[in-house]
A = this chain, B = another copy of it.
Amino acid sequence: MPKQERGQKTLNRVLRRAVQLASVDGLEGVTIGRLAEATGMSKGGLFAHFGSKEQLQLAIVEEARRIFADKVIAPSERIEAGLPRVMAMQSNWIDYVKGDSFRGGCFFAAASAEFDGRPGPVRTKLASLTGFWRHRLEEEVQRGIEIGHFRSETVAARLAFALHAYVQEANWAYQLLGDVDAFEQARRESESRVRRDATTDGLRSVKSHRVVPAKVSLGERREAVG
């Protein structure tokens, strides 16, 4: 293996470890010293590569972005646009938050709370990435309105706000209170919130195409309060 490629592999391994540490102890908790200890690399080598704590933090955020894009964004983009894709985005996101992508729960939720009061490039990058995802949800709802999956009176920003809220809440409730029901509550609230703004065509689009994972079976279960 050429030297450059080997270097890249090592770097990826270091960053994967760093993102796990950061999800538990916060970005500020991951110093070059601690990362050296956790990976068996030399402090000098890591310092030579990253240069500063801030550069290391930016690299960690970038690695978390890559994981999110891989596990949540890419699979959603393969689903039919409009309502089915909105449900897939939501479902993939819940799976990712619940799953083992990050040991300490959603990296972005933890890092947002940590950096919202600390202006600088790390905060700017976090705001841009998390803002992008909320914007994507809103954009997809808007598309759903245009193709007739959602009613014309639907306020895309409000629906996106609610959907985004449920997943962040589930992450919070699970991480702090150990509440394992929270993910199922997030799924059910998402489903009935989407249903409230959906048209008959929208509901049919999910049912007929069967593109949404079984767990989010819009249209198959009667909601008591729908």
A43 on the interface (CB 8 Å rule)? no
Q: Which residues of B contact A169 (CB under 8 A)?
A: 161, 164-165, 168-169
Q: Which residues of B contact A115 (CB under 8 A)?
A: 176
Q: Which residues of B contact A116 (CB under 8 A)?
A: 104-105, 110, 172, 175-176
Q: Which listed residue (B117, B123, B225) contacts A197, Cβ 8 A?
A: B225
Total copies of the chain: 2
Tell me the complex Cα distance, A79–B88, Å: 41
A65 on the interface (CB 8 Å rule)? no
Q: Which listed residue (B155, B168, B177, B182) contacts A127, Cβ 8 A?
A: B177
Considering only CB atoms, which chain B residue lies closest to A167 in the complex?
A: B165
Given contacts A112-B172, A114-B113, A172-B168, contact A188 B23 (CB under 8 A): no
Q: Which residues of B contact A186 (CB under 8 A)?
A: 161
Asked if B225 and A151 make an inter-chain contact with CB atoms under 8 angstroms apart, the answer reads yes
Q: Mark A82-123, 1 if CB is under 8 A from B, else 0.
A: 000000000000000000000011000110111111100001
Q: Which residues of B contact A197 (CB under 8 A)?
A: 225
Given contacts A166-B165, A169-B168, contact A189 B158 (CB under 8 A): yes
Residues of A within 8 A of B (CB): 23-26, 28, 104-105, 109-110, 112-118, 123, 126-127, 130-131, 134, 151, 153-155, 157-158, 161-162, 164-166, 168-169, 172-173, 175-177, 181-182, 185-186, 188-189, 196-197, 224-225
Tell me the complex Cα distance, A104–B114, Å: 11
Tell me the complex Cα distance, A182–B164, Å: 12
A selection of 22 A-B contacts at a CB cut-off of 8 Å is: A23-B117, A28-B28, A104-B117, A105-B117, A109-B172, A110-B113, A110-B116, A112-B172, A116-B172, A131-B176, A151-B225, A153-B224, A158-B188, A161-B169, A161-B182, A161-B186, A161-B189, A164-B169, A165-B189, A168-B172, A196-B225, A197-B225
Q: Which residues of B contact A117 (CB under 8 A)?
A: 23-25, 104-105, 110, 175
Considering only CB atoms, which chain B residue lies closest to A158 in the complex?
A: B185
